[in-house]
Amino acid sequence: MVIDEKADQAQRDGLTAILTGKAGGPFAILANTLTQVHGPQFLPMEVNVNGANSTVKAGSAVELEMEPIKNPVTGADAFPGVTLPQGLLYSTSTRASSKSFRVSAGVEFESSGKDAAFSPFDWSGS
């Protein structure tokens, strides 16, 4: 669990409660699938929201750079989507590729060149 170091104590407490599932909502369901939660770590965050070209960096713990999926025949950018009418975290998403995706924050994880997604969401009713 990584939270922006700029968060004040109330925000840190609130986000920790949400991300661990203690606040209920979708993350309560996801928390039941975990055997261990690492963190929270409070790190500098850099987020660039730009559709399939978005990037995220959290200190040296998390790095994600997305890129559009390429049509294997024409090489053109492709933007396939997924619709989940009863979706848990989102209803629709656009798929992309993880140009680079690395986690080193209590666990080590590398998933470059794999599936990635971006989606608008509204959790205000959760």
In angstroms, the CA 1 to CA 36 distance is 11
pLDDT number for residue 123: 67
Helix H or strand E segment including 100: strand 92-104
At residue 71, what are phi and psi to the nearest 5 degrees?
Answer: -65, 125
Distance CA 20, CA 36 (A): 10
Q: What are the residue ranges spanned by the domains of the chain?
A: 1-43, 44-121
Instruction: Tell me what the mean pLDDT of segment 34-41 comes to.
Output: 86
Model-level pTM? Answer: 0.82
Does residue 84 sit in helix, strand or coil?
Answer: coil
H or E element, residue 19: helix 9-19
pLDDT digits (tens, 9 = 90+) for 69-116: 999 999 999 999 999 988 877 889 999 999 999 999 888 999 999 999
Angstrom CA distances, 63 to 4, 118, 126, stand at 14, 16, 28
Mean of pLDDT values over 20-38:
86
Between 101 and 33, residue with greater pLDDT:
101
